[in-house]
């Protein structure tokens, strides 16, 4: 997504491990629907997390890992109704719930037999800092204040498609969490967590990036090619350093992790390239992504070796080896 989602080293590094503890508009039109026996027919239920014009216990719990206790205690004292603009976002999201429920089966195509075996909740609250995020295994959260601040009025026609893509992004995160749980994924160190965040946020990016980022035939779009002139060198430098350093200080980890998946869209050195590479792999059919999802964190090195270009690829392959990368 196009806004800052987490801040600070502790929040950034912790996030990688929290992922284990618990769509482009074009990408919605994917083939290969699951068979009827395995379709997920559970509902999408929208819940406004306000009680007497104050945040509910549910919203506070959802924010616990994203804000300090001091911030949450202060937020708990705020008493006000939704603003008119926040209420417009509430109404838009509520109106999309039935469509989102129909969308879920197509979103899980890359995950094979993995699905969310329960209804999906959409928690809505206000005054946090992240426009969208997930909570545990079956809940998508949207902050109405952040949505209005970042994307403007919900009445803007572009925001109907945008909120659909944001839901697809977050629901894909739930699927990734479920995949990690069922496959007993272990993140043993900082390096593992970085690789996992690249694929976790990359496939989320694949769902939420707009059509202009998608490839044109077998080639990068104009904006992707222009953006990757900067991001490819960063991707190569960061990953080769992360994966080969014998010891990294906390400040090193903060610097290397910065902007992997948080911050302005064009600076997301991990999530954006991986999202576009997955679009290149899909070629309009999400079944083609299953082999990459099945690799989990091990998908990142071969994807980088396949799609990096120029000096970035030379540096990358000099560390990982082109043959070795292809086998991972």
* pLDDT tens-digit map of 10-42: 444 444 434 434 433 333 333 333 343 445 568
Total Cβ atoms within 10 A of residue 136? 12
Query: What is residue 127's three-state secondary structure?
Result: coil
Assess if residue 18 is contained within a domain: no
pTM of the model: 0.86
Q: Are residues 231 and 304 in the same domain?
A: yes
Instruction: Tell me the per-residue pLDDT of 45-74, one tens digit each, with 9 for 90 and over.
Output: 999 999 999 999 999 999 999 999 999 999
Task: Please check whether residues 35 and 178 belong to one and the same domain.
Answer: yes
Instruction: Name the helix (H) or strand (E) containing 54.
Output: strand 54-55
* Residue-range definition of the domain harbouring residue 153: 31-182
The answer to whether residues 170 and 49 belong to one domain is yes
Point out the domain boundary residue: 161, 182, 203. 182
**Same structural domain, 288 and 175:** no
Distances (CA, A) of 96 to 92, 142, 162: 7, 13, 11
Q: pLDDT value at position 129?
A: 86
The yes-or-no verdict on residue 237 having pLDDT over 60 is yes
What's the count of helices (H) and strands (E) in the chain, helices before strands?
A: 14, 6
Query: Per-residue pLDDT averaged across 141-146, rounded?
Result: 98
Is residue 316's pLDDT more than 70? yes
Cα distances (angstroms) measured from residue 48 to each of 21, 125, 141, 283, 294? 25, 6, 10, 38, 35
- Please state, in angstroms and as integers, the Cα–Cα distance from residue 160 to each residue in 89, 168, 248, 250, following that order: 10, 13, 43, 41
For all residues of the chain together, what is the average pLDDT? 89
The token duo for 32 is: 């290969």
Is the model's pLDDT at 314 over the cut of 80? yes
Are 144 and 266 in a shared domain?
no
Same domain for 87 and 222?
Answer: no
C-alpha closest to that of 1 among 180, 213, 157 = 213
State the average pLDDT over residues 174-186: 97
**Residue 40 confidence (pLDDT):** 52
Question: Do the domain assignments include residue 195?
Answer: yes
pLDDT band of 6, cuts 50, 70, 90:
very low
In a domain, 233, yes or no: yes
CB 206 within 8 A of CB 286: no
**Do the Cβ atoms of 269 and 259 come closer than 8 Å?**
yes
| Residue scoring higher pLDDT (36 or 212) | 212
DSSP character at residue 187:
-
Domain count along the chain? 2
Least confident of 109-113, 127-131, 198-202, 272-276: 127-131
């Amino acid at each position: 997504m196009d806004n800052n989602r987490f801040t600070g080293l502790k929040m950034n590094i912790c996030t990688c491990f929290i992922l284990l503890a618990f769509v482009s508009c074009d990408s919605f039109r994917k083939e290969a629907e699951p068979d009827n026996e395995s379709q997920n027919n559970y509902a999408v239920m929208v819940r406004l997390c306000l009680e007497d014009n104050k945040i509910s216990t549910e919203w506070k719990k959802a924010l616990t890992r994203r804000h300090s206790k001091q911030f949450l205690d202060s937020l708990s004292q705020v008493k006000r109704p939704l603003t008119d603009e926040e209420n417009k976002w509430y109404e838009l999201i509520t109106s999309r719930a039935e469509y989102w429920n129909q969308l879920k089966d197509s979103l899980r195509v890359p995950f094979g037999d993995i699905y969310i075996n329960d209804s999906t909740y959409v928690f809505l609250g206000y005054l946090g800092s992240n426009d969208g995020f997930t909570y545990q295994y079956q809940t998508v959260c949207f902050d109405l204040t952040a949505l209005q601040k970042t994307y403007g009025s919900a009445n803007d026609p572009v925001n109907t498609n945008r909120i659909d893509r944001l839901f697809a992004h977050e629901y894909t995160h739930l699927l990734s969490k479920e995949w990690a749980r069922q496959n007993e994924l272990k993140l043993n160190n900082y390096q593992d967590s970085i690789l996992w965040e690249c694929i976790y946020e990359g496939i989320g990016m694949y769902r939420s990036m707009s059509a202009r980022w998608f490839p044109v035939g077998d080639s990068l779009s104009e904006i992707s090619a222009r953006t990757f002139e900067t991001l490819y060198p960063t991707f190569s430098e960061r990953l080769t350093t992360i994966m080969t350093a014998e010891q990294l200080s906390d400040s090193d980890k903060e610097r290397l992790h910065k902007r992997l998946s948080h911050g302005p869209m064009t600076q997301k050195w991990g999530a954006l390239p991986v999202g576009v590479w997955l679009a290149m792999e899909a070629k309009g059919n999400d079944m083609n992504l299953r082999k990459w999802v099945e690799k989990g964190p091990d998908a990142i090195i071969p994807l980088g070796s396949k799609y990096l270009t120029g000096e970035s690829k030379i540096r990358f392959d000099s560390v990982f080896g082109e043959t070795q990368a292809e086998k991972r």
